[in-house]
Amino acid sequence: MLRIAREWSVYCAVLLIASIPPIWTASASAEEPVEPEPVVQAEEVVVSATKTPVPVSHVTSAVDVITAQDMKKQNIRHVADALRLAQGLAVFSSGGPGTEVNARIRGANSSQTLVLIDGAIMNSGTLGSYDFANLTTDNIERVEILRGAQSMLWGSDAMGGVINIVTKRGQGPFSATGFMEYGSFASLREGGTVSGKQGIVDYSLSLSRWDTSSFSAVNYRRGATERDSYRNWQGSGRIGVDLPHDGRLDFNMRWMNSDTQLDSVSATFPSDVYGSKMRSQQYVFSGSYEQPITGWWSQKLTLARSQEASLFLPGTLQRSLLDGTFSTPFGSPNETRVIANRLEWQHNFQITKLLLLSAGYQFREQQGENDTGLINSILSSHAGFAQAQFNLWDRVFATAGVRHDSYNVFGDATTYRLTGGYYHTETDTKLRASYSTGFRAPSMNELFFPNFGNPNLGPEKSQSMDVGIDQYFLSKQLKVTGGFFWNHYRNLIITTFDPTFCAPFSTFGFCPQQLGEASTKGWEAGLSYTYSSDRQFLKGMVVQAQYTNTLTRDLEAHTRLPRWPTDQWSASVSYQPIDPLWITVIGRYVGSRFNTTGEQQNLRAFDVWSLAVTYDVTKRMQAYLRAENLFNEKYEEIASAGTPIRSIFGGVRVTFGGKS
């Protein structure tokens, strides 16, 4: 039956894609309606690639943008779910809503991927990575994904790439939107947003809540019977002020409060754990001041801070899923507190129409402590960077930049980046290439954790290159991309058992050493197509697809890197038969991979399909539906971690005020 359903879904998808009008020119019959003229829209602008606004057609780095409209059309509620569909990323959860979710780019690990929200650094000072577990899509305007080493502009943690998340900016008259959603796993979400602009002040404020109570963190198919709850409160806001002479002030805030019940997710000893949970409070604050000083000189000052306090409770009892025996969970209650501060002052000089120079200073500080012995530790750095951007006749583009960081714990690190591109306007073809170096500072746990940390560690380092082509057709309605990438990582920090080497740091014989060396390479391809018309039962269509091939190699052990599939793809087809209705089918494939180092614990490939439907009941009310894991695929992203069965969620959005 499952096989028939799959074949029927593929058959329907083929019919749906076949209904796309041919991209070659054809004579229209007298009965066919006249095609409307294409709507000319302002070209999308990317900031993270150069720290200055650049049209997508001029960007010489590998970058993707996920917009609020994309996430709304697919009824995506969690940022991690949007990242799962992006090119070059591996995003896996350790078991259901609220459990740890890490994102990695092009074979790098999660601590080598820098995550920012409104300019604030989100990577944990103690662990080195950012956990996407509690970040919903509420009030998010866009997510920019920059692939490849980006340390020249962004500093440490950007060896693999950057994920830059931006909060919505208010515009137009006052409007208020509220939503409520209910579905599988006793899941209930509700929230609201107010936004608008009054005079020189714009604002966008939101508050939401998400509760579930019936999802097992460890895979129920392994025999788990206990269900785990999750609660998430989230508030965010952005207030902007337009200043004279094109200046601007921006203030951003985001608050996340969560309570997540946990299990023991392990390939060797999975267990139902009773009473174990993680309680987390996160705050993100940032402010920026932009001001042109002359017609050729502008500056931007950014101040940002993120902080988190997370309390882990080990629980009172656990039941092994291997033999059913009961035991007491290991560990004691432990709270970890981390803070990240960032100050950056950047100046841009438009020397000529052909040359833009940027120079800046950045101060970065991370603090961390926990109740298991890590006393308040500080990692801080001062950095200076300079970049030149060339634009010759809107055809030939290039950037060249260098950066120097000075750290309080290990000394200095210098990185650079070179990019180039050519845009052939007559055929809408863009060629691009880049080469860059990167580094990652060791985390506080690696440096200072009692009876483990090695204070003699230095930075991890990398080299990165890529080449690609972007081809546009049909007045940029159709875009096809392809590219090749290569990365080499050295001085990687690896935890090893070496009693002799670790004796000064650890009585257990385990400690971090800089022994690792790895390489990754692969191919990326993508397609996006947008169509709109006045045809009956074909008002609009959006097709998006991407494929990533990633070959990884641990050059010391001569094995594949853990949790990296060789092949991944995703695709979505959105179809608008009538004006108020959108139907979207989404598919995602993840190839086989190994759960841990040394090519151990093989995890099989899987493909998951979902369906999203939105219907505008009135101009003020929208009903929506989302069905996940349509074919009830049995899979695990991480060994023994729970994943959703076939599930369905429905809700309604109501808007007041604004434009009719």
The 3-class SS string of 247-311 reads EEEEEEEEEEEEEEECCECCCCCCEEEECCEEEEEEEEEEEEEEEECCCCEEEEEEEEEEEEEEE
Cα 333 to chain center, whole Å?
A: 30
Domains and CATH numbers, the chain: 50-657 (2.40.170.20)
For position 18, what pLDDT does the model report? 36
Cα 72 to chain center, whole Å?
A: 16
- Nearest partner of 597 among 552, 566, 544, 635, judged by Cα: 552
User: Where do the H-state alpha helices sit in 319-390?
Assistant: none
C-alpha distances in Å from residue 386, one per residue of 115, 144, 348, 358, 415: 22, 22, 10, 6, 11
C-alpha distances in Å from residue 59, one per residue of 6, 160, 568: 39, 18, 25
In whole angstroms, what is the distance from residue 150 CA to residue 130 CA? 17
In whole angstroms, what is the distance from residue 71 CA to residue 539 CA? 20
Other CB atoms within 10 Å distance of the CB of residue 69: 11
Contact 550, 484 (CB under 8 A): no
For position 42, what pLDDT does the model report? 60
Rg from Cα positions in the chain:
25
Cα dihedral 53→58→61→65 (10° resolution): 60
In whole angstroms, what is the distance from residue 84 CA to residue 570 CA? 8
Residues 434-458: b if buried by 16+ CB within 10 A, e if exposed: bbbbbbbbbbbbbbbbeebbbeebb
In whole angstroms, what is the distance from residue 34 CA to residue 268 CA? 64
In whole angstroms, what is the distance from residue 431 CA to residue 145 CA? 19
Cα dihedral 49→51→54→57 (10° resolution): 0
Enter the pTM of the model. 0.92
The ranges of the chain with pLDDT < 70 are: 1-42, 659-660
How, if at all, do strands 647-657 and 175-183 pair?
antiparallel
- Nearest partner of 238 among 139, 120, 121, 115, judged by Cα: 139
- Nearest partner of 561 among 552, 569, 570, judged by Cα: 552
For position 57, what pLDDT does the model report? 87
How, if at all, do strands 600-603 and 606-616 pair?
unpaired
Other CB atoms within 10 Å distance of the CB of residue 415: 28
How, if at all, do strands 377-392 and 228-243 pair?
unpaired
Tokens of 535: 């045809």
In whole angstroms, what is the distance from residue 260 CA to residue 257 CA? 10
For position 374, what pLDDT does the model report? 86
For position 33, what pLDDT does the model report? 41
Q: What is the distance between the terminal CA atoms of the chain, rounded to a whole angstrom? A: 47
